[in-house]
Structure 1
Amino acid sequence: MTSIARRRLAAALAGLPAALPARAQERYPSRPIRALVPFTAGSSTDLRARSFGHYISLDWGQPVVVENRPGGNGVIAAEAVARARPDGYTLLYGTNSTHAANVALVPNLPYDPVADFAPITLVTNSSLIVVVNNALPVHSMAGLIAYARAHPGRINYAVGNTGSMAGGAMLKALAGLEMTQVSYRSTPQGVTALLAGEVQLMVVDGGQVLAHAREGRLRALATTGTEPHPGLTELPLVSSLPGMEGYAVFSWIGLFAPAGTPRPVILQLNAKMREIAGRPDMQAQIAAEGSSYRVGSPEDLAAFVRREIEDWRRLVREGQLRAG
């Protein structure tokens, strides 16, 4: 049990006799809900949080305040929720950064992504797209790899989160390329730099670049998943290239509460997220970004997080990624 979890348990036990009658009578939600997003406004996580928050507010009659807390690869927002009162009024839209990659990449992580959180539901799980600036003289993944090998150190690739970091780093490792990582505070900033020609390459969430690719402002080369990208079905898989068979990178979003949040509240939130995700307008919204919802049970998300943590530890152990 982490120090956060121990403090929370001690505080809960100390206040139990006085708190029980009031809590037993309180209808949830009876006041505003705060949803923390570990990235800047305009990121895919931010857009999903605001979409769900809008409908939860309408349906339950309580505001859902989306609060952007970028920084520290998601650590700032995740730690704030881990330390919050476990009453269902402070939630986190966590990602592969906060709940998987940070375990392997961030020394002395100040929270435990398993012990300090109550999973609610997975929201999305999407493959990424490899895109390049139009000035780069390549039109396929094979062409990109050949160019990068012929021009070592010439390509800079943008990183806005751990998904794009993993995508670029695994490409370097598996193809044996010399490329330079350029980190940005958020994915939208990285995409802006790519459009401006400050960097030449990015492995990125489809929702951030689909419009640019379709309208010819960026060139999409391949997708990082194990099946065609729903937004650009004509793209090949990176893993279809010789020597790249083990390449697969995904970006996901999940909803979490602090550990110790009452089970009825978790189930109420889960049921509402499932219901909203099934609405035609929400389905259309996510389909336009070339993605899909993956809502399920709290137990599904808990098992998924554990698998993701082990996958990121393996990537660091095998040298495809470097721990901080």
Structure 2
Amino acid sequence: MIRRFLNKNILLALALGACLPWQAQAASYPSKPITFVVPFGAGSATDQLARALGQGITEETGDVVIIENKPGASAMIGASTVARAEADGYHVLITTNTSQAANPHLYKKLSYDPVKDFEPVTLLGTGGQIMVVNPSSPAKTVEEFIALAKKQPGKMTFGSGSSSSRVAGELFQQMAGIQILHVPYKSNPAAITDVLGGQVDMMMADMATGLPQVQSGKLRALGVTMLTPSALAPNVPTIDKAGVPGYEMGYWFGAYVPARTPAAVVDKLHDLLVKAETHAAATRFYTQTGTHPVVSTPKELLAFQKAETEKWGVIIRKAGIQPE
């Protein structure tokens, strides 16, 4: 009996002792620079948002936030980097539905598990896309683009640097009844470069990447992917009204840390990100890109991600995309 009592108390003491380092770490978090891992290239919408939020956290805490771009493989490289990182809250995946909801339906095998390998922190925003072509394109409207594609099936191209961009293009061709060739890129800015150069005929770009090129006259906008016009481009019709009834596509941003990150650290990071959304740099990003700022609890993000994974599966199957 005495031995059992002692053993039980020794085990309890060991368990409590094991918790103390994490409690101490959570109390002092952050005590060193946080790294935001962005699974897309510099200049992408996700990169712009990460930098804006990082600036907000720096203003709040005085600590530098490092931005580490890990583009490629449809966000798998960046997601895998965070999945394998130490679970201490200092490596944060600033990502989109590409890595967390769409990829499971686009690839037969992933280098990470979108649910089991991460602790969700918070939603960060939602947005829409814009259909752009080179100004030299004969297509001045969505209907004219569809007519051109029907005259030369399989010869026209569209570029993408994310699953959101790719699925938007695939769904467009499926609903419009055309055949256009998909050209993949590591990130949306890289795809935009080839649309600017005339190597690619069309792209469904996120507003942060595509709209500045439209506003400067370097690209022509044919439509937006939302069901309502964008306040930033009120003269650009919705694709739904411009020739493809029922067409709609959007995307979302979220923050994740490695699985088994202590809940107290997740909570502190959550509060930092929520506050960062209200700082000037983030407010500028949301305003200038037409992105809607959104926050959530970790549990709400997990439930949202599950629903989005099912939704993207339906969209991808409807678009006829076969897993690679």
TM-score (norm. length: structure 2): 0.89
The residue number in structure 2 matching 1:92 is 93
Give the C-alpha shift of residue 281 in structure 1: 4.5
Give the C-alpha shift of residue 233 in structure 1: 2.0
Distance 2:169 2:81 in 1: 29
Distance 1:56 1:121 in 2: 15
Alignment of 1:156 with 2:176, yes or no, is no
The residue number in structure 2 matching 1:246 is 246
Alignment of 1:34 with 2:1, yes or no, is no
Gaps of 5+ in 1: 1-14
Give the C-alpha shift of residue 313 in structure 1: 1.6
Give the C-alpha shift of residue 24 in structure 1: 2.1
**Conserved in 1, the CA contact under 8 Å of 2:121 and 2:266?**
yes
Matches within 5 A, 1:4-19: 19=18
Of the structure 1 ranges 289-298 and 175-184, higher mean CA displacement relative to structure 2 is found in 289-298
Structure 2 CA distance for partners of 1:36 and 1:280, relative to 1, 3 Å? closer
Instruction: Encode CA deviations 1:83-109: one digit per residue, 9 max, x unaligned.
Output: 222221111012111101111112222
Matches within 5 A, 1:182-201: 182-201=183-202
The residue number in structure 2 matching 1:231 is 232
Alignment of 1:20 with 2:8, yes or no, is no
Give the C-alpha shift of residue 292 in structure 1: 2.5
Instruction: Encode CA deviations 1:245-287: one digit per residue, 9 max, x unaligned.
Output: 3322112211101122222222222222222212345323321
Instruction: Encode CA deviations 1:150-195: one digit per residue, 9 max, x unaligned.
Output: 2323421111111111111111111111211111221111111101
Give the C-alpha shift of residue 196 in structure 1: 0.8
Distance 1:212 1:22 in 2: 50
**Conserved in 1, the CA contact under 8 Å of 2:54 and 2:65?**
yes
**Conserved in 2, the CA contact under 8 Å of 1:170 and 1:321?**
no
Distance 2:285 2:73 in 1: 29
Alpha carbon RMSD of aligned pairs, Å? Answer: 1.9
TM-score (norm. length: structure 1): 0.89
- Size of the aligned set, in residue pairs, is 309
Distance 1:66 1:240 in 2: 39
Distance 1:22 1:162 in 2: 40
The residue number in structure 2 matching 1:6 is none
**Conserved in 2, the CA contact under 8 Å of 1:230 and 1:291?**
no
Give the C-alpha shift of residue 110 in structure 1: 2.8
The residue number in structure 2 matching 1:7 is none
Structure 1 or 2, whichever has the larger Rg, is: 2
Of the structure 1 ranges 306-315 and 165-174, higher mean CA displacement relative to structure 2 is found in 306-315
SS where residue 229 of structure 2 aligns?
coil
**Conserved in 1, the CA contact under 8 Å of 2:55 and 2:281?**
no
How high is the sequence identity, in percent, across the aligned residues?
34
The residue number in structure 2 matching 1:146 is 147
SS where residue 301 of structure 1 aligns?
helix
Matches within 5 A, 1:236-275: 236-241=237-242, 244-275=244-275
Give the C-alpha shift of residue 230 in structure 1: 2.9
SS where residue 292 of structure 2 aligns?
coil
SS where residue 118 of structure 1 aligns?
strand
SS where residue 193 of structure 1 aligns?
helix
**Conserved in 1, the CA contact under 8 Å of 2:49 and 2:282?**
no
SS where residue 213 of structure 2 aligns?
helix
The residue number in structure 1 matching 2:108 is 107
